Chain A
Amino acid sequence: MSDLATALVFWPSAAIMLVTGLYVFRTRSMARAGLLLLASLGIEGLVFLSLASEFLGVLQLLMMSGEMVIMVFFMVMFMADPGGLMGMDMTHDKRRSAAVAAGVAAALGAVAVATDWPGTVVTGAAPDIEQIGFEVMGRSMLSFLFAGMTILFAMVGGILLAKHGGRLGIPAPAGEPRDEEGAP
């Protein structure tokens, strides 16, 4: 991909990614917030494509599509006002949060711009999918297997944690919260 083509894809994609990411926390509709997050992280896949990482870009789009659709279901299930029709404000400390975020952006941005990063002349060639496959199934295979096992453990642990009765194994009657000792 030429420099011009990279810039033409990168800048609009990065702008949309940041704006949709910000609007996740600005909209009152929780279903809309989930879809905006899907848009933000999905368009990040387009940014990856512009940086000559086609495989990772497509993978990002596929992973985030599945994950964010599940997240939308959770938001509709657990939010007090999933449609945003009642005008509930589900935020706190907005000013301090914005100040901390601005400080983080300024600090990281300064490091990004001021540091003398190793310069490499980019020729347009990037590691192709075959090289990534050999990396994952060769030198990094143990780490890759460990990542797979971590997902498996997270799934089993998540189901155990979320099952009816919780970690204590005592089912709470529907509609009644547990008391301080955890008994129903």
Chain B
Amino acid sequence: MISLPVVLATAALLFAVGVYGALSQTNAIMVIMGIELMLGAAMLNAVGFMRYAWPDAASGAFFVLVVMTLMAVEATVGFALVIAAFRNRRTAELDDLTELRG
């Protein structure tokens, strides 16, 4: 039987996979992938709440649309930053981009 805690626990696992990817990868594109998975977990949470807590409210779908927008914006800005960094430093490896380290 599927219930709200089951959906939320599944989303928690997906979020944790995204956290692992964002922390363990050295390439900026792979870090963006980890963040995409975390946002995917947020969408799954919203769909779970919409289905099991407030099934009559259509506004839950709007939250999912906003997170999808956020995913697209995050990828757009992230790719632009990667291109800018690559033009200047010839690398997208985060370990090499240390100008702001102080």
Chain A interfacial positions (CB closer than 8 Å to B): 3, 6-7, 10, 14, 17-18, 21-22, 24-25, 30, 33-34, 37, 40-41, 44, 47-48, 50-53, 55-56, 59-60, 63, 67, 70-71, 74-75, 78-80, 90-94, 96-98, 100-102, 104-105, 108-109, 111-113, 115, 117-118, 120, 122-123, 125-127, 131-132, 134-136, 139-140, 143-144, 147-148, 150-151, 154-155, 157-159, 161-162, 164, 166-167, 172, 175, 177-178, 180, 182
Contacts and interface: CB of A to CB of B under 8 A. Distances in A.
Contact of A18 (B4, B17, B93): B17
Q: What 7 pairs across the A-B complex have the smallest Cβ distances? A: A108-B12, A112-B8, A105-B16, A158-B80, A101-B20, A97-B24, A97-B23
B76 A154 contact: yes
A83 B35 CA distance: 23
A109 B72 contact: no
Interface string B5-40: 101111111111111110111111110111011001
Interface secondary structure of A, over-half rule? helix
26 contacts: A7-B2, A18-B10, A22-B20, A25-B17, A34-B33, A51-B7, A63-B71, A74-B82, A79-B27, A92-B26, A100-B19, A100-B20, A101-B17, A105-B15, A113-B5, A115-B5, A118-B54, A126-B51, A127-B50, A127-B56, A131-B58, A134-B58, A139-B59, A154-B76, A166-B84, A175-B90
Given A56-B61, A113-B9, A90 B15 contact: no
B1 A140 contact: no
A102 B16 contact: yes
A90 B59 contact: no
Nearest to B73: A154
Interface residues of B, number: 76
Given A79-B27, A127-B58, A167 B53 contact: no
Contacts of A44: 14, 40, 43-44
A41 B36 contact: yes
Contacts of A10: 2
Contacts of A37: 33, 36-37
Given A75-B29, A108-B8, 13 more contacts: A53-B47, A53-B61, A63-B72, A70-B75, A90-B27, A90-B30, A126-B50, A135-B62, A147-B65, A158-B77, A166-B88, A177-B89, A178-B88
